[in-house]
Amino acid sequence: MRSPEPTIAGTPVGDPAADWLLGQSAALIVDLDGTLASAGLRRQLRLWREIGAEGRVLAHLGAAMAAARGRRHRDLDGFLAETMARRASVPPHRARRALTAVVDGAWPRAFAGASVPPGLLRLLRAADRRGLVRAVWSDHPALDKLAAMGLGGWSVICAARPVGALKPLPDAGWGLLAQLGVPPCRALLIGDRDDTDGAAAAALGCRFLRADAVEAALAPSRLRGLASRLV
Ligand SMILES: [Mg+2]
């Protein structure tokens, strides 16, 4: 797959507020869904158009993910498909197909045109200016979503689902930090959920900041929350 071109440009000369949030971090790790790209209304409508008949099955994805968290799975996709199939009263192969065709297909395409919330964008620029390495840690495969958004410059892009250990289990995060060559105490994780991202950061031993706290600190006040609702 073609690597997306870096688009996090326009680095300001200095940004004390963003620098203060970064502290002594050597690595910035960012969650994707709900953090780097919010579930904007326009994208949700586009996605629901593409989901079509699979909506009945995928309505149970959240419950299947919740049931899977906290445990390590040899075949996590199989567990998710079986759980969704049981709840929706459909054959498991149909739930598996929905996972592949929609969650890993139509869903990433729905990220085209999604923009990074302004506060987080400012933090990413500050990280680039200071020479931090940047990484994405998502539950779901993230390469196609980042490519659709046109966001590059990541040192590592890691997904927990293929590892079989969703957040808050730290397994995928350990691999990510090993690839970055950064100890947990020098990493800052940004995410939108305390129970998954925040708990994963605690399990890893790295700093955590909630995405809404980053926006509160760095986004222009009139833009806070507005961008996430519209993109
Ligand atoms: Mg998230």
In 3D, which of 170, 143, 165 has the Cα closest to residue 76? 165
Q: What are phi and psi of 37, to 5 degrees?
A: -135, 125
Report the alpha-carbon distance of residue 212 to residue 209 in Å, rounded.
8
CATH topology of domain 16-38+114-230: Rossmann fold (3.40.50)
DSSP 173-228: HHHHHHHHT--GGGEEEEES-IIIIIHHHHHHT-EEEEHHHHHHHHS-GGGTTHHH
Look at residue 227 in the predicted model and tell me its pLDDT: 52
pLDDT at 115: 86
Q: What are phi and psi of 184, to 5 degrees?
A: -55, -35
Q: Look up the pTM and report it.
A: 0.87
| Strand pairing class (207-210; 187-191) | parallel
- The pLDDT of residue 101: 87
pLDDT along the chain (231 residues), means of 10: 48 81 97 85 70 83 96 97 96 92 86 90 96 97 92 95 96 96 98 97 98 94 54 42
| pLDDT computed for residue 2 by the predictor | 44
DSSP calls for 2-41:
PPPPP------S--HHHHHHHTT-SEEEE-TBTTTB---H
How distant, in Å, are the alpha carbons of 111, 135, 207, 209 from that of 105? 11, 22, 32, 30
pLDDT at 10: 53
Those residues whose beta carbon sits under 5 angstroms from the ion ligand 1 are 31, 33-34, 192
Task: Give the model's pLDDT for residue 1.
Answer: 41
Dist. CA 137 → ligand 1 center (Å): 9
Where are the chain's structural domains? 16-38+114-230, 41-109
Q: What is residue 13's predicted lDDT score, i.e. its pLDDT?
A: 62
**Ligand 1 centroid – CA 177 distance (Å):** 19
Quick check: 202 and 52 in contact, CB under 8 A?
no
The pLDDT value given to residue 35: 96
Q: How confident is the model at residue 224, as a pLDDT?
A: 53
Q: How far is the CA of 47 from the centre of ligand 1 (A)?
A: 17
Distance from the alpha carbon of residue 66 to the mean position of ligand 1, in angstroms = 13
